[in-house]
Amino acid sequence: MTNLMSQGTIVDMGVSTLEMKVTSKWLGKRHFQADGPSGNTIYMDAKREDGGTGQGNRPMELLLMGIVGCTGIDIAMILERMRVNMEGLEIEAVGERRDEFPQAFTRIHLTYHITGDVPAAKAWRAIHLSEEKYCSAIGSIRAEVVPHLVLNGTDIPPLDVVTQGDGQPD
Residue 128, domain member (yes or no):
yes
The confidence score (pLDDT) of residue 169 equals 43
The confidence score (pLDDT) of residue 149 equals 96
Q: Tell me: pLDDT of 20 over 50.
A: yes
Q: Which pTM does this prediction carry?
A: 0.83
Tell me the residue range of the domain where 110 lies.
60-156
Model confidence at 6, in pLDDT bands (50, 70, 90)? very low
Q: Going by C-beta distance under 8 Å and a sequence separation of 6 or more, which residues neighbour residue 155?
A: 148, 149
Domain end (from 57, 76, 95): 57
Q: Answer whether 97's CB lies under 8 Å from 104's CB.
A: yes
Q: Please state whether the peptide bond connecting residue 147 to the residue before it is cis, i.e. omega within 30 degrees of 0.
A: no
Residue 49, domain member (yes or no):
yes
Residue 43, domain member (yes or no):
yes
The verdict on 108 and 146 lying in the same domain is: yes
What is the domain count for the chain? 2
Residue 140's closest CA among 43, 37, 71, 41? 71
The verdict on 18 and 81 lying in the same domain is: no
Model confidence at 159, in pLDDT bands (50, 70, 90)? confident
pLDDT for 137-158, tens place per residue? Answer: 999 999 999 999 999 999 999 9
Q: Tell me: pLDDT of 167 over 50.
A: no
* CA 106 – CA 33 distance, rounded (Å): 27
Q: Tell me: pLDDT of 124 over 70.
A: yes
Model confidence at 16, in pLDDT bands (50, 70, 90)? low
pLDDT for 21-68, tens place per residue? Answer: 999 999 999 999 999 999 999 999 999 999 999 999 999 999 999 999
For the chain, the average pLDDT equals 89
The confidence score (pLDDT) of residue 17 equals 78
CA distances to 1, 75, 155 from 13, rounded to whole Å, are 7, 34, 48
Q: Which of 16-30, 90-104, 119-133 has the lowest mean pLDDT?
A: 16-30
The confidence score (pLDDT) of residue 89 equals 98
The verdict on 107 and 125 lying in the same domain is: yes
Domain end (from 57, 85, 101): 57
Model confidence at 165, in pLDDT bands (50, 70, 90)? very low
Bridge-partner residues for 57, per DSSP?
Answer: 44
